Amino acid sequence: DVRMGFVGMVGRTPLVRLNKVSEETGCNITAKAEFANGGGSVKDRAALFLVKQAVDNGTLKAGGTVVEGTAGNTGIGISHICNAMGFKCVIFMPDNQSQEKVNALTTLGATVYQVPVVPFDNPDNYNHQARRYADERENTVWTNQFDNTANRQAHIEMTGPEIWRETDGKIDAVVFGTGTGGTLAGVGMYLKEKNPNVQVFLADPQGSVLYNYFKHGKFERTEGSSVTEGIGQGRLTDNLKGAPIDDALAIKDVDAVNMTFRLLEEEGFFVGASTGLNVTAAVQVARIMGPGHTIATCLCDNGQRYYNRLFSRSWLETKGLLGALSESHHRFLH
């Protein structure tokens, strides 16, 4: 079972039972260990399919450039893929993302433009800047991760089938935080085809509109803003359109951060706050459904990408989140 180069290291990640929260709820709470992808995050899957689509349809030719707007992880995945396939990479990202992600992108050889945070309907939004950059240059492709459904196709063809196979089809629910919507939509679409009774839950951070949209049909933001990166949304992306979502959960930062440190202390997993949000939501789903069910989510990436923020005592204090931690969690801070 030799994997063929970096591309062969995308997908087939382990499905891991989270023992402590499973015991607490009486359910099997499982998570795809997505940091085991070659580029270290769940976004490697979308990155591969986005670049491969451009190659297959002839818009990206040898020596060309791939451009993307990203909070970091999709860009990191695309940078790895570009190096492996012989392309150049240009990344536009909001200037509020972790320095660790910026450093990773530049080390991987990407050209990085950090731009001010503005809403999607502003022409200077990082996604629109990425599109314009690509439009103005030959043999340059904007992969458009938010609205290019090659993103969710990665999860229809890879992640969904993996979860089905690894649970022997005994899966009752899946739940994911959502940025582009690719993971949730793709996994949900595949599993609903296999078994319409599988429940699909959207987990939304504070300050996003998706919870209110799927619960109440209104594009209204929940209160506050979130320290999670790469999830939450102010609109309905093309990847989310038509997604078979049964319910939505609003997850507060205090709960996501607390779970992030619980996963480190109790399970041994060093992950970021988006993973903490996913597992918090999975626990809520387990309590909604009752004991005896199998629920799947994902461990999105590695905590090292957030070391100078999420694991910093002073940073947590400035965000009012130090109180989210139990006394025993303080030994993990610097």
Tell me what pLDDT residue 128 has.
96
Contacts of 274 (CB under 8 A, 6+ apart): 177, 228, 229, 230, 231, 256, 300, 301
Distances (CA, A) of 127 to 17, 66, 132, 165: 36, 13, 9, 36
* CA 164, chain centre distance (Å): 20
Residue 97 confidence (pLDDT) = 84
Q: Could you say which residues of the chain have pLDDT below 50?
A: none
pLDDT at 98: 83
pLDDT of residue 190: 98
Q: Check if the beta carbon of residue 244 is closer than 8 Å to that of residue 196.
A: no
- Secondary structure class of 301 (helix, strand, coil): strand
Share of the chain above pLDDT 90, in %: 96
- What pLDDT is recorded for position 153? 98
Active site residues: 43
pLDDT given at position 322 = 97
The Cα 66–Cα 197 span in angstroms is: 39
Tokens standing for 23? 């015991």
Q: What per-residue confidence (pLDDT) applies to 313?
A: 97
Beta bridge partners of residue 28, listed in sequence order: 294
Task: Determine the Cα–Cα distance for residues 205 and 222; give it in Å rounded to an integer.
Answer: 8
Distance between CA 156 and CA 147 in Å, rounded? 16
Half-sphere exposure of 139 (CA within 13 A, CB side): 7
Domains of the chain and any CATH numbers: 6-36+158-324 (3.40.50.1100), 42-142 (3.40.50.1100)
